[in-house]
Amino acid sequence: MLRAVLVVGLMLTLLIAAVFGPRLLRTVEPEAGTGAKSECDLDTSACSWSDLDGNWHVALKPLNDQDADYELTVIGAEGPDRLLAVLQGDSMYMGEYPVPLRRQGDGRYVARFSAPLCSTGNDMRWRLDFQRGQTRIDTAPFHMVFQAHTL
């Protein structure tokens, strides 16, 4: 009887180790080549990359020191007719906010917008993504982020 209990206990232990072991042994940080993206901070510099459509350059300029008003400039090689920037909270999810960009010609798009206010503090970190209509443009090798400061 004792032997049967020990065999069943050993089998359960092996089964649990086989199911949960790989999950517990995984590292916390993503390894290179797993598709994890780094960040490009638009507060410190413009973000640039190349894809099959050509070279892209994204710059964000604050319009004044008091509000969270910005001018977003996107330059692409042969850009789409309509381009949409989508703001999404990075430090806290507050929904998605579309920012339509106006085509200026030669692959240049410009938009002026106010970053939504955070109700729990004065600083909010935002992530910026792009869409052609309803299709997300996901060719940048990094996430574009910026910090909105409000008084």
In a domain, 12, yes or no: no
Backbone CA torsion sign across 15, 16, 20, 22: negative
In a domain, 29, yes or no: no
pLDDT grade, residue 27 (50/70/90)? very low
In a domain, 17, yes or no: no
Range of the structural domain that residue 133 is part of: 38-149
**What's residue 30's pLDDT?**
42
How many domains does the chain contain in total?
1
pLDDT at 1 exceeding the cut of 70? yes
In a domain, 53, yes or no: yes
Token pair of 134 as six digits: 């309803």
pLDDT grade, residue 35 (50/70/90)? low
In a domain, 32, yes or no: no
pLDDT at 34 exceeding the cut of 70? no
Q: What is the CATH number of the domain that holds 81?
A: 2.60.40.10
In a domain, 93, yes or no: yes
Contact present, 138 and 130 (Cβ < 8 Å):
no
The pLDDT tens digits for 67-124 are: 678 899 999 866 667 889 999 888 788 888 999 999 887 788 999 998 887 777 667 8
In a domain, 2, yes or no: no
Mean pLDDT of the chain: 81
pTM of the model: 0.69
CA atoms of 1 and 9, how far apart (whole Å): 12
C-alpha triplet 84, 86, 87: angle, nearest 5°: 150
Rg (CA), the chain: 23
In a domain, 106, yes or no: yes
